Amino acid sequence: MKEKLNGRRVVAYAFHPHVLYVLCSLLTAAHGLSDEQREFQKVAFDFAANEMAPHMAEWDEKEMFPIETMRKAAQLGFGGIYVQPDVGGSGLSRLDTSVIFEALSTGCVSTTAYISIHNMCAWMIDTFGNTEQREKFCPDLCSMEKFASYCLTEPGSGSDAASLLTTAQLKGDHYILNGSKAFISGGGDTDVYVVMCRTGGKGPKGISCLVVEKETPGLSFGKKEKKVGWNSQPTRAVIFEDCAVPVTNRLGEEGQGFGIAMKGLNGGRINIASCSLGAAHACVQLARDHLLVRKQFGETLSNNQFLQFKLAEMATKLVASRLLVREAATALQESRSDAVSLCSMAKLFVTDECFNICNQALQMHGGYGYLKDYAVQQFVRDIRVHQILEGTNEVMRMIISRNLLTES
């Protein structure tokens, strides 16, 4: 095995189906988990190793949205992990969800990140929808027969999401939507769009949440964006031109949309941080394997104390990051008063630290790390965007400090 890793043949090995599963016990992070959690963690690691890791380079290169693989993941219960069982969900906790997304991301960050957005949308419909809406949408989303997208960002409103301009005018028993959304993950290839739009005056209180189905007349999509990473999922603008959506597709009451969007994102931020954990987890392993076999100055790089210390720091930051994510997940599950801050802290700290870990792992690979034959560069490219979306890390700082400064 070491011989293989020392030369170009590492190419095959870097994407070998089992390379990411054979992990150090310190890194697998099963400690502190219940037997049941260890069980589905193993299922997720196996799925990542067998169904995702062998294809992640091809999905990236050819920009393939792996629908059938995601449907297989849904058969394991990963299409509606924290959706209630009566509508097809797995009914698991936020912590369980984090454990699953971390494990899946070792096989493909981009695909797992999309699955996490899909889960967030399914949870929003499950939680804020009425019985008819839950029964209409959730079963097909949980089985991933249908796919969902989350539509908040607009060309003119990103960080300042509450300034969104897409309008929904009530006409009889329909809302007429006009406007456009930018950067929508899955956009154009998905079936169900959870759209934040303006039904009232300025600011967050004028925003409502509508579920828009793909075949609705007046709904169209922009070109597929060319991206640095996250290439196994399409990103497009979503455009509404006199798009008539039944009032029965509104989640919650008029004016509650922004709150619904933010509640979805609290969980989304833990999920995205968990995807970063999976990438860092895989990259520490890849760096370790490389140091053990790559020889320079007559000995393996693993004998170099500078690199040993770097590896130790990477592993330490990974474990610290995981602890924060799991604390935030538990706080959200228990609806604790510090949950929103902790979710933001987890997103800020973990997506920054895990990007640095992956980038350091790439550095340890030297020139090979910059070649697309090696998995490490894809992890770096795929998780860079986690510092930007679901609220930028600057916005996370705003939320954390605002909560600190206004707490009585």
Ligand X SMILES: Cc1cc2nc3c(=O)[nH]c(=O)nc-3n(C[C@H](O)[C@H](O)[C@H](O)COP(=O)(O)OP(=O)(O)OC[C@H]3O[C@@H](n4cnc5c(N)ncnc54)[C@H](O)[C@@H]3O)c2cc1C
Min dist CB 203 to ligand X, Å, is 16
Min dist CB 159 to ligand X, Å, is 3
- 385 is a site residue for ligand X (CB under 6 A): yes
- 83 is a site residue for ligand X (CB under 6 A): no
Selected from 21, 40, 150, 355, the binder of ligand X by CB under 6 A is: 150
Cα distances (angstroms) measured from residue 100 to each of 77, 328, 335: 10, 15, 21
Helix (H, G, I), strand (E, B) or coil at 192: strand
Selected from 235, 341, 351, 359, the binder of ligand X by CB under 6 A is: 235
Selected from 49, 103, 144, 184, the binder of ligand X by CB under 6 A is: 184
Where do runs of H (alpha helix) occur along 106-166?
109-128, 131-142
Cα distances (angstroms) measured from residue 378 to each of 111, 162, 232, 369: 12, 33, 11, 10
Min dist CB 179 to ligand X, Å, is 13
- 267 is a site residue for ligand X (CB under 6 A): no
Is 334 tagged catalytic? no
Cβ count near 160 (within 10 Å) = 10
Cα 237 from Cα 6, distance rounded (Å): 44
Span of 11-19, 150-158, 165-173, 293-301 interacting with ligand X by CB under 6 A:
150-158
User: Measured from the CB atom, is 327 or 352 closer to ligand X?
Assistant: 352
- 273 is a site residue for ligand X (CB under 6 A): no
- 153 is a site residue for ligand X (CB under 6 A): yes
State the Rg of the chain over Cα.
21
The footprint of ligand X on this chain (CB under 6 A) covers a number of residues equal to 21
Span of 153-161, 209-217, 240-248, 262-270 interacting with ligand X by CB under 6 A:
153-161
Task: Exactly one of 241, 299, 390, 394 is catalytic; name it.
Answer: 390
- 280 is a site residue for ligand X (CB under 6 A): no
Cα 390 from Cα 152, distance rounded (Å): 10
- 238 is a site residue for ligand X (CB under 6 A): no
- 400 is a site residue for ligand X (CB under 6 A): no
Closest-approach residue to ligand X (CB): 158
Min dist CB 15 to ligand X, Å, is 23
Residue closest to 386 by CA, chosen among 347, 357, 356, 359:
347
User: Measured from the CB atom, is 184 or 315 closer to ligand X?
Assistant: 184
**Residue 223 gets which letter from DSSP?**
P
> Which residue type does 120 have?
M
User: Measured from the CB atom, is 185 or 360 closer to ligand X?
Assistant: 185
Cα 216 from Cα 218, distance rounded (Å): 6
Selected from 227, 246, 252, 303, the binder of ligand X by CB under 6 A is: 227
**Residue 161 gets which letter from DSSP?**
G
User: Measured from the CB atom, is 159 or 248 closer to ligand X?
Assistant: 159
At residue 64, what are phi and psi to the nearest 5 degrees? -95, 135
- 401 is a site residue for ligand X (CB under 6 A): no
DSSP letters, 384-405, are HGGGTSSS-HHHHHHHHHHHHH
- 345 is a site residue for ligand X (CB under 6 A): no
Cα distances (angstroms) measured from residue 202 to each of 124, 206, 325: 23, 6, 34
Selected from 75, 159, 248, 316, the binder of ligand X by CB under 6 A is: 159
Cβ count near 263 (within 10 Å) = 18
Write out the residues near ligand X by the rule CB under 6 A: 117, 149-153, 158-159, 183-185, 227, 230, 235, 385, 388-389, 391-392, 394-395
List residues with catalytic annotation: 390
